[in-house]
Amino acid sequence: MIPAVKVFLPLRVLLISMIAIIDYGMGNIHSVNKALEVCGARTLVTNKPEVIRSCDMIVLPGVGAFDDAMQELEKLGLVSVIKEHILAQKPFLGICLGMQLLFETSEEAKLTKGLGILKGKVRRFEARKDLKVPHMGWNSIKVASPFFKGIADGSFVYFCHSYYPEPKEKSVIVATCNYGIDFACAVAQNNVFGMQFHPEKSQKVGLRMLESFIKLC
């Protein structure tokens, strides 16, 4: 009789957190998932409330309209799931539209309110002859947070947006960008983080930011 062989996995493998990437039909899901995997994360792309509740971290990507996004989250029963996750002090990251949804209201939405996790509103860039809207392409950012440790001030990241957040509490702003005006391009409050730019498209700088997020849990 062949004796049973016990396999012991390294502790660091057993403790790797699971990240839920919320798929609500509005996000750049494939790119975000691939970037997180490159950073060594374990990920699940899902819109199932029970699956998301079982995960240690949430990433909410987003491309599209504020109204449509909130309606999809409501329809899927994910608004309460997201709020429960955040209240439980689990790490949460919103990217682009996913960051904007953290706020109370948006000039893009006539009737729909946001998640209201952060106080403030989302505004549209004013159309100017010297300023194209949407803001699309690479731009430098000014960082001011330990979360961006190892990221040089003036680093370039990739943007694609027509709206930007205007937090009521300036203390949550951890990075800014200038595009006609200085605007908040990254926010942080306790376990909640948001990036207006796309870290998954920002090459080494963006991957380093995602690595910092993964290490929070």
* 165: phi then psi, degrees, rounded to nearest 5: -80, 145
Sign for the pseudo-dihedral over CA of 111, 117, 119, 124 = negative
Residue ranges with strand state E in the chain: 18-22, 42-46, 57-60, 92-95, 105-106, 120-124, 135-143, 156-161, 163-167, 173-178, 182-189, 192-195
| CA proximity to 36, closest of 168, 198, 157, 164 | 198
Burial of 137 (0-12, 13-18, 19+ CB in 10 A): exposed
Catalytic residue (one of 55, 135, 161, 200): 200
96 is catalytic: yes
198 is catalytic: yes
Query: What CA dihedral angle connects 184, 72, 138 and 107, to 10 degrees?
Result: -50
50 is catalytic: no
Catalytic residue (one of 39, 55, 96, 177): 96
Distance (Å, whole) CA 176 – CA 174: 7
Q: Specify the pairing of strand 173-178 against strand 182-189.
A: antiparallel
Other C-beta atoms closer than 10 Å to the C-beta of 155 total: 19
| CA proximity to 17, closest of 58, 61, 67 | 58
3-state SS class at 136: strand
List, by residue number, the catalytic residues.
Answer: 96, 198, 200
